[in-house]
Chain A
Amino acid sequence: MARRRRQPPGASAAEQLRLRDRLARLTDLPLLRGAGVSGEMARLRRQLERIAAEPTEDDVWRAVELARHQARPYTLDYAERILDDFVELHGDRSLGDDHAIVAGLGRFRGATVALVGHQKGRDIHERTRRNFGMAMPEGYRKAMRVMEIADRHGFPVLSLVDTPGAYPGVSAEQHGQGGWIARSQLAMARLCVPTVACVIGEGGSGGAVAIALADRVLMQENAIYSVISPEGCAAILWRDAGEAKKAAAAFKPDARHCLELGVIDAIVPEPAGGAHANHDEAARLLAAALEAALAEVAGLEADERRRARRAKFRAMGELTA
């Protein structure tokens, strides 16, 4: 399978210069025997284009900062803008109600849908109450409960992902954090109704993927989706959390790379400057993308849709035989 040239982060500018130089020399070359230079030139040009199109370290870091922007719209901001009659449901019917995840039912373009999503807080009080969008097993169980209702009644499921990760606390562990993240994914794999997930901010690791196993997975332009936070990756591999920027560039959590790697199906545009600049416009763009994605999968039979969903995730990864 495709094997790309390795580029150490930060090397692309130098690489670009080197290629340009070689290209210039080739162009100037007096054609001696009409030698096979044109192929080499085309190759260099392609390489150059690819490198120029590659987001730079700064581009990637900008997405990380925008994804975490404090004024960025959160799940409930979108719920009130894109759904009519949103009724929030509470509790996992077993242990508690986790405010880091909201779940409920509402009308989207005239039809009832279920919405689940992570919820961060804006002021210090709400942030604490929402636990910074870091969910406990109770939160995932609440989401599963609402998705099960949707499945039984034939409501499509929309899921908005925005979390730094699942909550890393003692009680979360004791309540079975790992197991519930797994079961939440399995529940989504088994749903018969159409499902669309969109990463609207931080798609942090297992806590994000727990509610992102959907028929279509979208990502906002400035959202990030990653296996680990840049700080965490830097702390482990560089042994210095300060190298977060370098780490982010190395593991490429931005939307363009995720699309290129086949992890997401489409990028949802944001208003100029980022989603925080204009919540209404961001919501309008998101609603349009969700509607289009739902329409793509709505026509399939339930079994067919489940099989296609399974096949979609089955295909992810890059191997050499």
Chain B
Amino acid sequence: MASRIDVSIEHRGPPAEASSAQRDPNTCPSCGSHYREDELERALRVCPQCGHHFPLRARQRVAQLVDHGTFVEQEESLRSADPLGFFDVRPYTERIAEAEVSTGLGDAIVIGAAKIERRDCQLAVMDFAFMGGSMGSVVGEKLARACERAAERRLPLVCVTASGGARMQEGILSLMQMPKTVCAVDLLRESRCAFFCVMTHPTTAGVLASFASLGDVIVAEPGALLSFTGPRVVQQTTREKLPDDFGLSESNLRLGHLDAILTRGELRPFLGRLLALFEHGA
């Protein structure tokens, strides 16, 4: 359905303020406070005033989560083919090239081996800045390889998601990344490796409906949109009145879909504790 990929981001502030805030990435869209780059960086890109979590790029996330210098990136060279010769108003190849230049990434996910709080793990981190974090062949493949590497080395997999869903431009092959990643998680489970998933804003549609929801432990950042269908589409299709916290982490926790909501600063110690617990269980 249409809707699956469409992710609308809710602006809670008054519209005028929100639109001016959008222009500067260092202005908090929630409370309007403005920060210097180094201030924001030091605060893990969380607004010290109101606790709003600014979007985080994959490499920034890796730097925040893992022990300094332990991350070894894998499969950086994988690139998407253009299986459909997809052409909307612009060719798909052009869109990819542009995303590559603007993000410095090969696709919307970074995988690698790392240590978190001195414990080995396999890491997979998505980046929403690369075509909305959409899952095409490369994201599916890298996630599958991350699972295989974890299974091989008998390590837990830590995955941080941020995605609008499947990538339209690869058509049905994008949809097939859902069963593909699910099968990869099945392998992980068969090898008795733990899988921890950290959902960040937004985690929706095809990614939510495949590997992301299969974590042994699932936690989320506050205020993240985690829904299969985005609020705008639900509203348009069903004309239902949406609850204020529709699809947000807080409602997901209340309804039993999450284990915990953790602020950015709490993530690393929490993952460290989990890694330790599972280490001694095996």
Binding site for B on A (CB under 8 A): 1-9, 134, 164-166, 168-170, 172-179, 181-183, 185-186, 189-190, 204-207, 209-210, 212-213, 225-229, 231-233, 235-238, 247, 250-253, 257-258, 261, 263, 309-310, 313-314, 316-321
Contacts and interface: CB of A to CB of B under 8 A. Distances in A.
Given A226-B172, A319-B141, A6 B93 contact: yes
Nearest to B80: A319
A266 B140 CA distance: 24
Interface in B255-272: 255-257
A206 B206 contact: yes
Nearest to A212: B179
Contacts, number: 252
Interface stretch (B11-19, B21-29, B42-50, B233-241): B233-241
A316 B93 CA distance: 20
With most chain A CB atoms within 10 A of its CB, the pick from B3, B184, B257 is B3
A314 B184 contact: yes
A172 B178 CA distance: 19
A232 B4 contact: yes
Nearest to A134: B1
A319 B78 contact: yes
A173 B186 CA distance: 24
B171 A6 contact: no
B125 interface: no
Interface in B201-240: 204-206, 208-214, 226-229, 233-234, 237-238, 240
B247 A173 contact: yes
Contacts of B87: 6-9, 250
B4 A320 contact: no
Contacts of B137: 316-319
A111 B243 CA distance: 49
Interface residues of B, number: 75
Contact of A317 (B91, B141, B212, B213): B141
A281 B22 CA distance: 59
B4 A236 contact: no
B168 A189 contact: no
A318 B168 contact: no
B183 A313 contact: yes
Given A3-B81, A169-B238, A189-B183, A177 B209 contact: yes
9 contacts: A178-B208, A178-B228, A181-B209, A206-B209, A209-B175, A227-B4, A227-B167, A228-B4, A236-B168
- What 8 pairs across the A-B complex have the smallest Cβ distances? A232-B2, A165-B1, A317-B137, A178-B208, A168-B229, A178-B228, A251-B171, A181-B209
With most chain B CB atoms within 10 A of its CB, the pick from A166, A207, A247 is A166
A233 B81 contact: no
B172 A261 contact: yes
B166 interface: yes
B194 interface: no
A168 B175 contact: no
A206 B182 contact: no
Interface of B: 1-6, 77-89, 91, 93, 136-138, 140-141, 144, 166-180, 182-187, 204-206, 208-214, 226-229, 233-234, 237-238, 240, 242-243, 246-247, 251, 255-257
Nearest to A239: B89
Nearest to A241: B2
Contacts of B233: 168
A263 B172 contact: yes
Contacts of A237: 88-89, 168
B172 A225 contact: yes
A251 B182 contact: no
A205 B207 CA distance: 12
Given A168-B1, A227-B171, A232-B4, 11 more contacts: A173-B229, A182-B214, A190-B186, A225-B172, A232-B3, A236-B5, A252-B171, A309-B183, A317-B136, A321-B78, A321-B79
B149 to A, nearest CB: 14
Contacts of A320: 78-81
Contact of B182 (A174, A182, A227): A182
B5 to A, nearest CB: 6
Nearest to B171: A251
A229 B175 contact: no
Contact of A176 (B93, B243, B255): B255
Nearest to A189: B186
A178 B213 contact: yes
Nearest to A253: B172
A235 B209 CA distance: 22
B182 to A, nearest CB: 4
A319 B177 CA distance: 13
Contacts of A225: 172, 175
B109 to A, nearest CB: 13
With most chain A CB atoms within 10 A of its CB, the pick from B79, B138, B183 is B183
Nearest to A174: B255
A175 B252 CA distance: 10
Contacts of A261: 83, 171-173
B275 to A, nearest CB: 23
